[in-house]
């Protein structure tokens, strides 16, 4: 039985070779995989405005005999996961007039639930191993993603990882990547609207043989095609911006797991940091 994540990887593996009208189907499959077992091919055709014949061709291109087999495989792979999908209970609604604070909290809790359900634990562990083994870790992102990159770099340095953020200055990201070597790693944040500069930096780093990890909002986001491993984080928001509740959880989990995986180095760094802080206090007095 094909695993849930394996089906997604199959779709993404064929994505670039599909014509644009078929990529539309692939996008829908990736973003709505949980719904596919409950859709007929005709309903999927109507939802995507693509012909039934094209949907069949997409399923065959991915490696299935047709849409029926694809739908069956997805349904079977989801059976073992459905019972575990709700990890935190949502707040109960007490009236039709839900207050905004509760609505926002409900949506963020759902983002966290969905993220914990979506992230492949093998991918997460691969990400941690790569960070711990890297000579130096660089984080990257533009806009609000730059702040997220800064936070992760700070969190990693606090647990003894040599990390820094690529600065958005007159020097472009891909020019800064020129100074990285094959023992380094670049971790990119990429959320809508996707920054071309961040995506280009990931592509250029990959071409140079530098490991690229990305944190993004969906399996088919542009940066995933240039990433050795990526973590999918739900960032749905009531506004046009991204919610960062689930992203914050992932950042904290990465830093925590890195510390646990390399306890000696993390403890040594914290001890040295505390000594410096204590010496500064003495000077101030």
**Confidence at residue 3, expressed as pLDDT on a 0 to 100 scale:** 67
More confident residue, 59 or 171: 59
- Taking residues 140-145, what's their average pLDDT? 91
**Confidence at residue 216, expressed as pLDDT on a 0 to 100 scale:** 94
**The pair of three-digit structure tokens given for residue 203, joined into one six-digit string:** 């592509």
Band (209; pLDDT cuts 50, 70, 90): very high
**Confidence at residue 146, expressed as pLDDT on a 0 to 100 scale:** 92
User: Taking the model in full, what pTM does it have?
Assistant: 0.69
Ordered strands of the 185-190 beta sheet: 163-165, 137-140, 185-190, 211-216, 229-232
Of residues 54, 10, 63, the one with CA closest to residue 33: 10
**In 32-143, alpha helices (H):** 41-48, 52-62, 67-82, 100-118, 121-133
The CATH code for residues 117-272 is 3.40.50.10490
Rounded CA separation 7/71 (Å): 11
**Confidence at residue 185, expressed as pLDDT on a 0 to 100 scale:** 97
- Taking residues 207-222, what's their average pLDDT? 92
Highest mean pLDDT (candidates 36-50, 136-150, 233-247):
136-150
Each residue's pLDDT tens digit, 73-118: 888 876 655 555 545 555 555 455 567 888 888 888 888 988 888 8
**The pair of three-digit structure tokens given for residue 74, joined into one six-digit string:** 């997805």
Rounded CA separation 42/24 (Å): 15
- Taking residues 163-188, what's their average pLDDT? 90
**Confidence at residue 98, expressed as pLDDT on a 0 to 100 scale:** 62
Rounded CA separation 175/183 (Å): 18
Looking up tokens 């510390």 gives: 259
**Confidence at residue 142, expressed as pLDDT on a 0 to 100 scale:** 92
Each residue's pLDDT tens digit, 122-132: 899 999 999 99
The burial of 170, by beta-carbon neighbours within 10 Å (0-12 exposed, 13-18 middle, 19 or more buried), is given as: exposed
**Confidence at residue 58, expressed as pLDDT on a 0 to 100 scale:** 92
Each residue's pLDDT tens digit, 18-42: 998 899 899 888 888 878 888 889 9
**Confidence at residue 1, expressed as pLDDT on a 0 to 100 scale:** 41
Is 185:134 a contact under the CB 8 Å cutoff?
yes
Mean pLDDT score across all residues of the chain: 85
Q: Where are the domains of the chain?
A: 4-82, 117-272
More confident residue, 201 or 75: 201
Each residue's pLDDT tens digit, 222-231: 999 999 999 9
Rounded CA separation 272/264 (Å): 12
Band (155; pLDDT cuts 50, 70, 90): very high
Is it the case that residue 203 has pLDDT exceeding 80?
A: yes
The CATH code for residues 4-82 is 1.10.10.10
**Confidence at residue 4, expressed as pLDDT on a 0 to 100 scale:** 63
**Confidence at residue 207, expressed as pLDDT on a 0 to 100 scale:** 93
Looking up tokens 């829908």 gives: 28
Pairing of strands 163-165, 185-190: unpaired
Rounded CA separation 181/136 (Å): 9
């Amino acid at each position: 039985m094909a695993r849930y994540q394996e089906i997604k990887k199959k779709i993404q593996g064929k994505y670039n070779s599909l014509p644009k009208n078929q990529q539309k189907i692939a996008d829908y499959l990736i973003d709505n995989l949980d719904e596919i077992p409950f859709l007929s091919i005709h309903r999927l055709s109507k939802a995507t405005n693509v012909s039934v014949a094209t949907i069949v061709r997409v399923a065959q291109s991915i490696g299935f005999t047709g849409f029926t087999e694809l739908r069956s495989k997805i349904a079977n792979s989801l059976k073992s996961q459905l019972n575990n999908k709700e990890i935190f209970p949502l707040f109960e609604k007490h009236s039709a007039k839900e207050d905004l604070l509760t609505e926002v909290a409900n949506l963020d809790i759902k983002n966290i639930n969905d993220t914990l359900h979506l992230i492949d634990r093998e991918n997460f562990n691969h990400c941690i191993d790569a960070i711990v083994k890297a000579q130096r870790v660089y984080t990257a992102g533009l806009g609000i993603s730059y702040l997220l990159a800064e936070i992760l770099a700070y969190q990693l340095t606090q647990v003894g990882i040599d990390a820094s953020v690529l600065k958005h200055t007159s020097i472009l990201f891909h020019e800064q990547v020129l100074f990285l070597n094959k023992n380094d790693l670049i971790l990119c944040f990429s959320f809508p609207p996707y920054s071309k500069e961040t995506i280009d930096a990931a592509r250029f780093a990959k071409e140079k043989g530098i490991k690229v990890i990305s944190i993004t909002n969906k399996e088919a986001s542009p940066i995933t095609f240039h990433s050795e491993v990526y973590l999918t984080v739900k960032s749905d928001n009531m506004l046009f911006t991204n919610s960062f509740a689930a992203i914050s959880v992932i950042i904290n989990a990465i830093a925590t797991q890195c510390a646990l995986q390399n306890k000696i180095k993390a403890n040594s760094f914290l001890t040295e940091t505390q000594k410096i802080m204590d010496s500064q206090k003495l000077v101030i007095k």
